[in-house]
Amino acid sequence: MLPHAVAWHSMEIPTERGYGGGYMSNAPSRYPQKRYPMPLTDTAIKKAKPSVKPYKLTDGGGLYLLVTGTGRYWRYNYRFGGKFKTLALGTYPDVSLGRAREKHADARRQWADGIDPGALKRAAKVRAAECAANSFEAVARSWFAKAYADKAQTTRDKTLTRLEQDVFPWIGARPVSEIKAPDVLEVIRRIEQRGALDIARRVFNYISRTLRYADSHGMVDRDVSASIDLSLVLTQRETRHHAAITSPQAVGGLMRAIDGFTGGFVTLCALKLSALTFVRPGELRHAEWEEFDLDGGTWSIPGRKMKMDNDHIVPLSAQALAILRELHNLTGRGRYVFPSERGGSRSMSENTVNGALRRLGFTKDEMTAHGFRAVARTLLDEELGFRPDFIEHQLAHAVKDPNGRAYNRTAHLGERRKMMQAWADYLDKLKAGADVIPLRGKTAA
């Protein structure tokens, strides 16, 4: 802090320079000056009354507080290049007297070094604006807007929430061109430390895709995440599968329990269709009536709703069609097959099916909504003997055919239709308590 001269604020100093080279008040002023002994004090500032006609309280060296009817503003008057200039230093009380003096001293040092502090401040604002436009957060939001434009709103919300909670607070404000591999690793390891390995992998994918997006637009020299082998970074842990009942006898008990469900009709239908179609819970609760061809017996799920981003066809058994036709009388006028119980335009809550299973007495360690997929995968193979590739295609897993071609939504559709009907019939027999003879080796090759 530079020393303050001992003088009265209204005194005229017969020189262009005050202490340390600051411009003093000998230049004509637009504002009248109050008489306070230097240096200024917080008490003097607090006593300054707002006025329709602005006035200033000087602190020496060109620093003063401009008092108006709307606020109190720190200003620094100086000359540079033969021109009279004013630099704004902030608003009181956000900028305290002490802080104003520090900023004033910094500006005077710049002036003494032949630098125009006002021009330097403007240049800093330009650089800050450029950095903000090319910050990791700005680039990530631009990538997100394009990559997730056609995704389901819940998917968009979850992805954006992960970015806002796990990425932006740490590297969001930094220019994307300055992001290095260690910065990415720091973000990922922070998530790993709380045991959220799946989220860590997803977040790494978001960061990597953002950096590839930046690379394709010439914002970075290269995608630094490409050099990171995530398998060597994250702690490996045993895979935990979704809880599911897979013995035929227990599945029969599950189906009888579902038949006896006393909750809402829409929830009952969701339980039954979870078992009959074994789609992912999110795909079921976001099902829309326009996706169904009840006459043709198919449900066509668009890729934007699927985990693998591929369109998917679910052949519908006679039992599934009967449930859907009955449900259509209740919800068919709306968008969603399973609308929220709270009304409006939202779909069923992600906790509805799991909540219904809990009401039926099944704990989260026994059975989950996602567990219906494991039930079908196990029994279609081990009890009914269907080919694994038929099953995997119906589960919408990324399966390649013998020729190496990627997933095709219509692959084995005829055989899958037979499989889905056989599955529905099998569940009915288990529910009835009948002894079911395994059909291994008798399905179409």
CB atoms within 10 A of CB 104: 27
For domain 248-432, which CATH number applies: 1.10.443.10, 3.40.640.10, 3.40.47.10, 2.60.40.10? 1.10.443.10
CB atoms within 10 A of CB 311: 16
Fold match flag (19-126 vs 248-432) = no
* CATH level 2 (architecture), domain 19-126: 2-Layer Sandwich (3.30)
The answer to whether 3 touches 108, Cβ cutoff 8 Å, is: no
Residue 17 burial by CB count (10 A; 0-12/13-18/19+): exposed, middle or buried?
Answer: middle
User: Which residues are annotated as catalytic?
Assistant: 280, 307, 370, 373, 397, 407
pLDDT digits (tens), the chain, 445 positions: 343 433 333 333 333 333 333 333 434 455 555 544 467 888 888 888 888 888 888 888 889 998 988 888 999 999 888 888 888 888 898 889 989 999 999 888 888 888 888 777 777 776 665 555 688 999 999 999 999 888 878 788 889 999 999 999 999 988 998 999 999 999 999 888 887 888 888 999 999 999 999 989 888 888 898 888 888 888 765 445 567 888 999 999 999 999 999 999 999 999 999 999 999 999 999 999 999 999 999 999 998 888 777 889 999 999 999 999 999 999 999 999 999 887 767 899 889 999 999 999 999 889 999 999 999 999 999 999 999 889 988 998 866 554 444 456 677 899 999 999 999 999 999 999 865 545 444 444 3
Structure pTM?
0.50
| Sequence spans of domains, the chain | 19-126, 136-232, 248-432
Structure token digits, residue 346: 């939202």
Residue in 271, 252, 440 with CA at minimum distance from that of residue 348: 271
Tell me the CATH number for domain 136-232.
Answer: 1.10.150.130
